[in-house]
């Protein structure tokens, strides 16, 4: 049974849980900042009483003490929630769903509590028409960070219902005499506008919930895209190198190619026909898997890529598709590491006694996609490839394991190789100077 779909869903769900917890942590941070700002505003008004009309000053200043105490208590509560969330983040645990609803009810009720507290000092209508009811809106907007449509609707309903109820109660208890001739005062005492404002709070929760749902859907799609891309790289990377898989997924389909300075390696198994002839196809496949299974990680570890498998060998490239200013050093180091790994396999008798030849050449090549609209392949084209192949074939002539061209030897700059002089290579119009490194 194929469980890839459920695995993908599990990845998205796990990633969503982690992101939601981080989002909740950031939301609480913003709320702490909001409460701190509210306390700072009250401190400024108390320090500069001239900002308040003289006939209102005494009432407004007298309300600061209870408002400050309530806001401070909520601030302590939010700090406690922040500490708890930080522990959950470290433990990589998620919050229970009940917490979100209880917490939303507590947080959204802050403006209601402040209105009640202010009404005890200033009266009902002055508190209702003041700045405190506006605090509902930032609290409702911040619930969007929970990315939960129902939670946002719940918070909006709590805010709207509480505001309507507290408004009706305060209007009924209001004893401030207003002239009957004042239509403004009559309107303030009319329940309809407070009911409308409460309904607006409920609609705000609905709108915030819609926004939260859209963000959640977009985040979920983004996570699914990332998971599909990672899975494509993983599967594709089994057929080409991970670096090539990354490049092919990023570049446009009509990518024409780039000229790069590359060091090309050819790796070949000596007497492979004899080894294959003495074994069954299954045994030959197992032999190649063991041998290549040791060689490929070495190439990858030294910033190279396996570009092609050639039956009894492969072609590797250093310096493409990712630029590498030390491609020759990496190629030579990889070659020595591969030879050491082969010696270990021979000593441990994991494979039949095996000898290999490796040829390296440095030059400019065109790298990119080759093929038709139905199938393309990342390849490296240029004389550097042909010459590297000929150098590898020359290892048989000189009984060598590792031969490099003069260009590679110069790039190394250490002159550790044995100079074999100018060598005539098949298919080359002029002799090539070769160096034996192993």
Q: Is there a domain that residue 243 lies in?
A: no
Q: Which residues of 25-45 are buried (b: 16+ CB within 10 A; e: fewer)?
A: bebbeebbebbeebbeebeeb
Q: Do 424 and 287 share a structural domain?
A: yes
Q: Do 103 and 196 share a structural domain?
A: yes
**Whole-angstrom distance, CA of residue 349 vs CA of residue 372:** 44
Q: Do 366 and 318 share a structural domain?
A: yes
* CATH code (residue 409): 3.30.70.1230
pTM over 0.75? The answer is no
Q: Which two tokens stand for residue 102?
A: 């209880």
Q: What is the pLDDT of residues 239-263, one digit of tens each?
A: 455 555 565 556 554 555 678 899 9
Q: Is there a domain that residue 168 lies in?
A: yes
Q: Is there a domain that residue 190 lies in?
A: yes
Dmax of the chain from CA atoms? 116
* Residue 60 confidence (pLDDT) above 60: yes
Long-range CB pairs of 7-12, under 8 A, 24+ apart, other chains included: 8/224, 8/227, 8/228, 8/231, 11/223, 11/227, 12/220, 12/223, 12/224, 12/227
Q: How many domains does the chain have?
A: 2
Q: Mark which of 202, 233, 264 sits at the end of a domain.
A: 233
Q: Mark which of 233, 264, 296 sits at the end of a domain.
A: 233
Q: What is the pLDDT of residues 258-300, one digit of tens each?
A: 788 999 999 999 988 888 888 898 989 999 999 998 998 899 8
Q: Do 274 and 210 share a structural domain?
A: no
Q: Is there a domain that residue 375 lies in?
A: yes
User: What are the φ/ψ torsions at residue 361 (nearest 5 degrees)?
Assistant: -145, 145
Q: Do 205 and 70 share a structural domain?
A: yes
Using DSSP, state whether 354 is helix, strand or coil.
coil
Q: Which two tokens stand for residue 288?
A: 């190649």
In terms of Cα–Cα distance, which of 314, 326, 334 is closest to 241?
314
Q: What is the pLDDT of residues 183-199, one digit of tens each?
A: 666 777 778 878 888 89
Range of the domain at 196: 4-233
In terms of Cα–Cα distance, which of 216, 75, 38, 202 is closest to 144?
216
* Beta bridge pairs of residue 258: 367
* Residue 341 confidence (pLDDT) above 90: yes
Q: Do 403 and 328 share a structural domain?
A: yes
Q: Is there a domain that residue 9 lies in?
A: yes
Q: Which two tokens stand for residue 225?
A: 């895209």
Q: Do 99 and 13 share a structural domain?
A: yes
Q: Is there a domain that residue 247 lies in?
A: no
Q: Do 364 and 319 share a structural domain?
A: yes
């Amino acid at each position: 049974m194929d469980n890839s779909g459920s695995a993908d869903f599990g990845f998205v769900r796990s990633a969503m849980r982690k992101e939601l917890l981080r989002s909740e942590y950031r939301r609480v941070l913003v709320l702490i900042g909001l409460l701190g700002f509210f306390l700072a505003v009250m401190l400024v008004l108390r320090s500069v009483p001239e900002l308040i009309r003289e006939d209102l000053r005494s009432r407004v200043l007298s309300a600061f003490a209870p408002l400050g105490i309530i806001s401070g208590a909520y601030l302590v509560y939010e700090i406690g929630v922040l500490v708890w969330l930080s522990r959950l983040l470290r433990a990589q645990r998620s919050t229970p769903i009940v917490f979100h609803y209880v917490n939303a009810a507590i947080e959204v009720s802050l403006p209601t509590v402040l209105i009640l507290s202010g009404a005890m000092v200033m009266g009902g209508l002055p508190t209702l028409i003041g700045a405190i009811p506006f605090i509902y809106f930032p609290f409702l907007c911040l619930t969007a960070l929970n990315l939960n449509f129902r939670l946002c609707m719940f918070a909006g309903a709590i805010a709207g219902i509480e505001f309507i109820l507290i408004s009706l109660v305060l209007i009924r208890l209001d004893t401030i005499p207003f002239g009957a001739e004042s239509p403004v005062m009559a309107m303030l005492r009319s329940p309809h506008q407070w009911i409308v404002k409460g309904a607006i709070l409920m609609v705000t929760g609905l709108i915030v919930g819609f926004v939260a749902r859209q963000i959640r859907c977009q985040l979920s799609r983004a996570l699914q895209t990332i998971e599909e891309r990672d899975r494509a790289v993983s599967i594709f990377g089994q057929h080409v190198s991970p670096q090539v898989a990354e490049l092919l997924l990023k570049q446009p389909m009509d990518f024409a190619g780039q000229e790069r300075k590359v060091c090309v390696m050819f790796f070949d198994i000596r007497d492979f026909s004899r080894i294959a002839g003495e074994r069954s196809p299954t045994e030959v496949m197992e032999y190649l898997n063991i041998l290549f299974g040791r060689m490929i990680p070495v190439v990858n570890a030294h910033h190279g890529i396996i570009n092609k498998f050639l039956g009894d060998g492969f072609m590797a490239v250093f310096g493409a598709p990712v630029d590498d200013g030390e491609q020759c050093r990496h190629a030579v180091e990889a070659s020595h590491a591969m030879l050491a790994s082969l010696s270990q396999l021979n000593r441990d008798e994991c494979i039949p006694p095996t000898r290999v030849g490796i040829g390296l050449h440095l030059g400019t090549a065109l790298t990119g996609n080759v093929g038709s609209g139905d199938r393309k392949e990342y390849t490296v084209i240029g004389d550097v490839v042909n010459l590297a192949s000929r150098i590898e074939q020359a290892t048989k002539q000189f009984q060598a394991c590792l031969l490099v061209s003069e260009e590679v030897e110069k790039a190394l700059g250490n002159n550790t190789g044995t100079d074999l002089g100018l060598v005539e290579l098949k298919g080359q119009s002029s002799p090539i100077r070769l160096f034996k490194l192993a």
